[in-house]
Structure 1
Amino acid sequence: MSRLVLASSSRYRRQLLDRLGLPYVWSSPDIDETRRPGEDAESLAHRLALSKAQAVSADYPGHLIIGSDQLALFDGDILGKPGDFDTACANLRRFSGHKVSFMTGLALIDTRSGRHRVVHDTYHVWFRALSDAEIEDYVSRDQPYDSSGSFRMEGLGIALFERFEGNDPNTLIGLPLIRLCELLREAGVNPLGADRQLPQGS
């Protein structure tokens, strides 16, 4: 039986976690993602990642639970999922020719001990100068309505960019695997070697 839980309904995060070769289950958390008054980006990413993991923790005693949430940061604004065609196009018009930063909060709760860790990873992208026709064609084809930043890195989104800067490109998809491996090792699970066996719950 798996003792690792991904608190996410995102198929893209599941595809990333699959790469570690660890058995896991996933559960969709139901939380309010509304930004609170005065909440900065780091605090918001921290709260949402931890809240997602906490939302399913009661159902999984004796498990390690992963929560993750991503924000797009541009020109002093914190941007979430666009939700529709017009908003996605408007976001990409703003981003055209500019640098945009993406912050992902990552939480790991150990429901055996009640301990948790939350970390953050930031990745930067430089958008090409995009025409309206390119933007509308991209949004029509990739439909990135549930993706922070209004693009899918795992899809055609790569055609929007000039360059990247950061430690882990998986951060752009919403699950920083390098930091996740660090947290798992701290919790006694190494994706490499003899200690990759997940601890058993009581």
Structure 2
Amino acid sequence: MSLAPPTLVLASSSPYRAALLERLGLPFETCAPHIDETPLPQEQPEELVARLAEAKARAVGAEFPHALVIGSDQVAVLDRYILGKPGTHERALQQLRAASGREVIFYTGLCLFNTTTGEAKTTVEPFRVQFRPLTEKQIEHYLQRERPYQCAGSFQSEGLGIALFKRLQGDDPNTLIGLPLIRLTELLEQESYPVL
């Protein structure tokens, strides 16, 4: 008698992460994590996203006794300063002005938590974005069209945001949207949960 495969759970309320996970064609559930996302004093961006990805997975995992829970967190970093989600039009303007003509590094923390074994595997995937020099008019036009106020760095690369960039550099383009599928596939296979 074989055990049923574990339930796959995405610990996120992000429709973008859910859409990415759907690309793998695997059945999964979503559950929004409720954790404190405040950075710790002196916490580096890579440490922050790793900690939050695992905290999200563990928080949701408490509700699923036989599951593989995927946690993810992302920050945008400009000169070691975390940009975060702007929340308002004015903060988005400030972020895009600061990013104009410069490189922003996105760090995405990914955790796969096995609720049966209690083991969590966590990784951080960087992705570099070189912004084009942007005029005030271009920034305003972009913000009026996309309204990316809940997106780290004030843009959505899956939409018009791609026009803001000069160059992208990273191992997996999905990382920029918030869920590194190549690395996730590897983690799932390590848990004997084949994607193919």
Q: Normalising by structure 1, what TM-score?
A: 0.93
Distance 2:52 2:80 in 1: 19
C-alpha displacement of 1:144:
0.7
* Residue of structure 2 in register with 1:27 after alignment: 31
Distance 1:42 1:100 in 2: 14
Given candidates 9, 12, 15, the residue that maps to 1:8 is 12
| Alignment deviations for residues 38-97 of structure 1 (CA, whole Å, 9 cap, x no partner) | 111111011110111111111111000000000111112012111111101110000000
C-alpha displacement of 1:187:
0.5
* Residue of structure 1 in register with 2:105 after alignment: 101
Task: Report matched runs for 1:126-165 at 5 Å.
Answer: 126-165=130-169
C-alpha displacement of 1:138:
0.5
Question: Match for 1:144: what amino acid?
Answer: P
Given candidates 86, 90, 109, the residue that maps to 1:86 is 90
Give unpaired runs (5+ residues) of structure 2.
Answer: none
Structure 1 position 170 matched with structure 2 position 174 = yes
SS of the aligned residue for 2:10 comes to: strand
Stretch of structure 1 that moved more, 29-38 or 103-112: 29-38
Distance 2:186 2:33 in 1: 23
Distance 2:80 2:126 in 1: 15
SS of the aligned residue for 1:82 comes to: coil
Question: Match for 1:145: what amino acid?
Answer: Y
Question: Match for 2:107: what amino acid?
Answer: M
* Residue of structure 2 in register with 1:191 after alignment: 195
Question: Match for 1:105: what amino acid?
Answer: G
Distance 1:51 1:143 in 2: 29
SS of the aligned residue for 1:149 comes to: helix
Distance 1:38 1:190 in 2: 38
* Residue of structure 2 in register with 1:199 after alignment: none
Distance 2:127 2:102 in 1: 14
- The alignment of Structure 1 onto Structure 2 pairs a total of residues equal to 192
Given candidates 42, 45, 50, the residue that maps to 2:54 is 50
Moved over 4 A (4+): none
What fraction of aligned residue pairs are identical, expressed as a percent? 53
C-alpha displacement of 1:141:
1.0
RMSD of aligned alpha carbons: 1.1
C-alpha displacement of 1:140:
1.3
Q: Normalising by structure 2, what TM-score?
A: 0.96
Question: Match for 1:149: what amino acid?
Answer: G
* Residue of structure 1 in register with 2:115 after alignment: 111
Distance 2:17 2:34 in 1: 17
